[in-house]
Amino acid sequence: MQLGLVALAMIFLSAMGHSDALKLSKAKRHRRVSPEMPLSCPKGCERCSEYNGCIKCKPKLFIFLERNDIRQIGVCLASCPMGYFGMRNPEGNNRCTQCKIENCEACFNRNFCTKCKEGLYSHSGRCFVSCPPDQRTSNETMECVECELGEWSQWSSCMKKNKTCGFRKGSQSRLRMPLLQVHSPDTSPGFIPSQTCAPQTEKRKCTLTKTPCCHLHLLISHIVQEWESNKQTLLRSQFPQICLSVSLIAQVQ
């Protein structure tokens, strides 16, 4: 009789121990997959799981998926790390998204790069080996900046088809040459011509009194012929006028 009671007591205790162990195992499994564990969540996290880390961050924070071997663990950050940008969600689950702009190390959003890889220049949110024609390189910031231009030159002569005679209406132009600021420890900042910027050109229409074009070599040929045919007459009457004409045309040419 006593042996029977002892055996019954042992069976009861064994059953109780198995039940407690089963409850503990279920509790661990529930804790591993349940997101409702606010007490065990790290700082800044509203919902988390033991296996995946944070699932939802508090407002104004960004959730960042940090790789841990084959798993990705969610962590909450005030700002996203290098190579990622923050995307805010109206529902409150803000995320860090990886930059996918070519040759970009840091970006403001999916379309605008703020820092390019070493040796490249940033321009309008993209990365380039060299700057476009209307920009120059800034080696201090590795950016493409607007070209600085010098003073306007004087207006050119009024011309048409590279001629200054034989027309009434033509055009004239002037230039502004691009400059690059340079600093020297011994002198104040100065400027030298830039090798990457293009000059700026301005044109305007102009009007002249129409004058015929007279080529100097034709006039000389005519003078020689006249001289050979009638030397005495030219010497007495026309030579002073011819010399004056040659002098004036030489000044125009």
Q: Is 78 contained in some domain? A: yes
Report yes or no on 86 lying in a domain.
yes
Q: CB–CB of 54/63 below 8 Å?
A: yes
Q: Tell me the CA distances in angstroms from 97 to 45, 72, 91, 93, 107, one per residue in order.
A: 18, 14, 17, 12, 10
Could you list the mean pLDDT of each consecutive 10-residue stretch along the chain, which spans 253 residues? 51 51 45 48 87 88 87 90 90 88 92 92 91 81 86 90 83 86 48 64 87 65 67 55 51 48
Same domain, 153 and 222: yes
173 is a domain residue: yes
Assess whether 90 and 155 both reside in one domain: no
pLDDT at 146: 84
Q: Where are the beta strands (DSSP E) in the chain?
A: 45-49, 53-57, 62-68, 71-77, 84-87, 95-98, 104-109, 112-116, 121-123, 126-128, 135-138, 143-146, 148-152, 169-182, 190-193, 200-207
Residue 154 resides in a domain: yes
Task: Tell me which of 98, 118, 138 is where a domain ends.
Answer: 98
The residue segments making up the domain with residue 55 are 34-98
Please tell me the predicted confidence (pLDDT) of residue 103: 93
Provide the number of structural domains found in the chain: 2
pLDDT of res. 183: 47
d(CA 130, CA 35): 51
- pLDDT at residue 214, rounded to an integer: 66
Give pLDDT, residue 93: 82
3-state secondary structure 160-190: ECCECCCCCEEEEEEEEEEEEEECCCCCCCE
CA–CA distance, 121 with 145 (Å, rounded to integer): 10
For 179: left if phi > 0, alpha if psi spans -120 to 50, otherwise beta; the answer is beta
- The answer to the question of residue 186 being in a domain is yes
Residue 211 lies in a domain: yes
The per-residue pLDDT for 21 is: 46
CATH of the domain at 61: 2.10.220.10
pLDDT of residue 107: 93
**93 and 151: one domain?**
no
Amino acid letter, 135: Q
